[in-house]
A and B are shown apart, each in its own frame.
Chain A
Amino acid sequence: DSGVTQTPKHLITATGQRVTLRCSPRSGDLSVYWYQQSLDQGLQFLIQYYNGEERAKGNILERFSAQQFPDLHSELNLSSLELGDSALYFCASSPLGGPTDTQYFGPGTRLTVL
């Protein structure tokens, strides 16, 4: 158990809908990362937060947004969903968000868009 929790574990929804994925980091970790893993693309970095502020942004679609709240939990919002958004979404946390930090991964949320 990494100490990172993600909810829900599974989500099935329809095209055009909006969903929110939630992540609680390990106790004491200030940085949260979001990743998408699809069968054909592998793991891809979406966005990183540190202590409530956006630190880095990767290949995140405009239909996706995220935030980190004062209690350090984070939410990833996916809107106008398309079939291609079906993937595993992982959240990870690390103490300070630096390149040499170990990242601790949550169990993932499996999103299926029908």
Chain B
Amino acid sequence: KNEVEQSPQNLTAQEGEFITINCSYSVGISALHWLQQHPGGGIVSLFMLSSGKKKHGRLIATINIQEKHSSLHITASHPRDSAVYICAAHRYSGNTPLVFGKGTRLSVIA
């Protein structure tokens, strides 16, 4: 079992829909990151969370430390949101500080 699990793997939505991507982790973490990978391959860091909730534009990220779960929400989705969204857990200890989920491929159709 992977230390970081994301769901769903693939998601197709109509423009304007509210989208939720989930991330569960099994390790102790000091921070959780959400990344966006564009179709061209470039990666952008969206959020760093150690507790609570953050909002940037139409994107909202939440984390529940006790439940070891984080969600990324996109409100009023748009075709330009089409990308792969990756969750990454920054572990407290161990040699590998950042452990990645396999990503959620989002397609937003106009």
A residues lining the B interface (CB < 8 Å): 2, 33, 42-45, 48, 56-59, 88, 90, 92, 99-105, 107-108, 110
Chain B: interface residue total (CB-CB under 8 A)? 23
Contact with A along B7-35 (1 / 0, CB 8 A): 00000000000000000000000110101
Asked if A90 and B31 sit within 8 Å, CB to CB, the answer is no
Query: Do A105 and B43 touch (CB < 8 A)?
Result: yes
Report which B residues bind A (CB closer than 8 A): 30-31, 33, 35, 41-45, 48, 50, 86, 88, 90, 95-103
A59, A99, A108: the one within 8 Å of B42 (CB)? A108
Which of A2, A42, A104, A110 has the most chain B CB within a 10 Å cutoff?
A42
Contact A58 to B90, CB < 8 A, known contacts A90-B43, A103-B45, A104-B45 = no
Q: Are B42 and A107 in contact, CB atoms less than 8 angstroms apart?
A: yes
- Excluding A100-B50, A104-B45, 13 further A-B contacts by CB distance (< 8 Å) are A33-B98, A42-B103, A43-B88, A45-B97, A45-B99, A56-B96, A99-B30, A99-B31, A100-B48, A103-B33, A107-B42, A108-B41, A110-B41
